[in-house]
Structure 1
Amino acid sequence: MLKVSEVVAGYQAGSRVLDGFSMHVQPGEIVALLGRNGMGKTTFLKALMGHVAVSGGSLSLDGEEIGGLKPYEVARRGVGYVPQGREIFPDFTVEENLLMGLLGRPDLPSEVPDWAFEIFPILHERRKQRGGSMSGGQQQQLAIVRALVGRPKLLLLDEPSEGIQPNIVQEIGQVLRRIARDEGLTVLLVEQNMELVLGMAQRCLFMENGAIAYETDEVQKLRTDPAPIHRYLSV
């Protein structure tokens, strides 16, 4: 599915936020990318989406190089992105926000499908309400469904629990696990909320100084042996 090899990327010429970053994600897998602030997690997601220039290495999706593509080209190849802070359109209604997820996709219907309003029922109830008047949790649900209407095969989530009440965080985790299981959706999750990570992820990758420092597929063991969490997440 996703293979990343020795990627170098940064925000200014010559800067290296990512310095030899390598990882992979298998189809249908839910992987959590963890690390302290400033380690390069968000930079990697932005580099993958084409928002940050890659100056070295390779980013391939299903065997096709996507490094250097424009964001809309990456999206057309099957990558959905929910950025940190959600970035919904506050003056647009819920339905209008969801329509934005279909822009530039002539292969998809021009209207929001009914199933999109069933993922989180509150969106059906509020479909004519302006996005900016909704709670933070409802806006996050809206942002996730906006990405899903584009029918991605890989979904990138950047801090989806940030500023959201626990019951909605739990609902988001349950819904995404179900979609991944039933539809084969692949998810790459950047998150600080370990309860969400431990409830969703099948594998955890810990970043340090722009590269992967440790990984484990024994995710539940982190509950009883949190040494990696203390080492790579504690301030």
Structure 2
Amino acid sequence: MLQIDQLSAGYIKGSQVLDGLDLSVAKGEFIALLGRNGMGKTTLMRAIVGQLKPSAGKIRFAGNDITGAAPYKAARAGIGYVPQGREIFADFTVEENLRMGLLGKPGLGALVPDWPYEIFPILKERRHQRAGTMSGGQQQQLAIMRALLGQPELLILDEPSEGIQPSIVHDIGIALRDYAKEHGLTILLVEQNLDLVSLLGHHALFMENGSIVERVDDMDRLQNDAALIARYLSV
């Protein structure tokens, strides 16, 4: 579904964060990207969704070249994105935020259907509340559901557990896992919370210095291999 070949990208001319990165994600997979801060994980996410133009390489999604495509084109192609920090509209109500997830999606209408409120009932309870007054966990549920309302084929999540209490993180993980299984959703997850990664992940990829350096297919290893975690995640 997603194929990335020899991707290079950075923020300052002549300075690359990603260095010839290769990545393949099949339909229905849950893949977690792990690594210390500054290794290029968020840069990769931004390049995929069109917020950052690569300097070299190719990004193909569902057979189409989307390298350097504008963010709205990536969204229309079927990619949903929940950025680090959530980036909800604080002064909008919950329902107004959700409606933003329907914009630019022909055939989905302008009104929020009932099913998002069934997945995260707190959003129905707070549907007329300003989003900026909600807790971090509630805002993350809102950000995820706003992305899912566009009915993406690939959902990219950047640090969804950041600043959220463990019980809410677990509930979000269960909801995402169940939705993905039911709808065939593919998930690419950047995360440091190993419990959430183990709950969602089929595979874990470790990044260092802008490249993927190791792949783990046995998710139990993330909980039991202290040397692996120390090598790639310890400060």
The TM-score bracket by the shorter chain reads over 0.9
Superposed CA offset, 1:138-163 (max 9, x none)? 00000000000000000000000000
Secondary structure at the aligned position of 1:197 is classed as: helix
Q: Which amino acid aligns with 2:54?
A: V
What aligned pairs does 1:207-222 form with structure 2 within 5 A after superposition? 207-222=207-222
Alignment of 1:114 with 2:89, yes or no, is no
Secondary structure at the aligned position of 2:55 is classed as: strand
Q: Match for residue 177 of structure 1?
A: 177
Secondary structure at the aligned position of 2:144 is classed as: helix
Question: Aligned-pair distance for 1:227?
Answer: 2.3
Question: Aligned-pair distance for 1:130?
Answer: 0.5
Residues 194 and 222, structure 2, Cα contact 8 Å, conserved in 1: no
Structure 2 residue ranges without an equivalent (≥5): none
Q: Which amino acid aligns with 2:186?
A: T
Q: Match for residue 66 of structure 1?
A: 66
Secondary structure at the aligned position of 2:118 is classed as: helix
Q: Match for residue 195 of structure 1?
A: 195
Q: Match for residue 226 of structure 1?
A: 226
Question: Aligned-pair distance for 1:17?
Answer: 0.3
Residues 11 and 53, structure 1, Cα contact 8 Å, conserved in 2: no
Question: Aligned-pair distance for 1:199?
Answer: 1.4
User: Could you tell me the percent identity over the aligned residues?
Assistant: 60
Question: Aligned-pair distance for 1:70?
Answer: 0.2
Aligned equivalents of 1:225, 1:106: Cα separation in 2: 47
What aligned pairs does 1:1-235 form with structure 2 within 5 A after superposition? 1-235=1-235
Q: Which amino acid aligns with 2:59?
A: L
Superposed CA offset, 1:66-105 (max 9, x none)? 1110000000000000000000001100000000111111
Secondary structure at the aligned position of 1:54 is classed as: coil
Superposed CA offset, 1:107-165 (max 9, x none)? 32211111111110000111001000100000000000000000000000000000001
Q: Which amino acid aligns with 2:100?
A: M
Question: Aligned-pair distance for 1:32?
Answer: 0.2
TM-score (norm 2): 0.98
Q: Which amino acid aligns with 1:189?
A: L
Q: Which amino acid aligns with 1:178?
A: D
Question: Aligned-pair distance for 1:106?
Answer: 2.1
Structure 1 residue ranges without an equivalent (≥5): none
Count of aligned pairs between the two proteins: 235
Aligned equivalents of 1:211, 1:80: Cα separation in 2: 23
Residues 94 and 123, structure 1, Cα contact 8 Å, conserved in 2: yes
Question: Aligned-pair distance for 1:177?
Answer: 0.7
Q: Which amino acid aligns with 2:191?
A: E
Residues 194 and 223, structure 2, Cα contact 8 Å, conserved in 1: no
Question: Aligned-pair distance for 1:221?
Answer: 2.3
Question: Aligned-pair distance for 1:224?
Answer: 2.1
Secondary structure at the aligned position of 1:146 is classed as: helix
Aligned equivalents of 1:113, 1:42: Cα separation in 2: 31
TM-score (norm 1): 0.98
Aligned equivalents of 2:226, 2:75: Cα separation in 1: 36
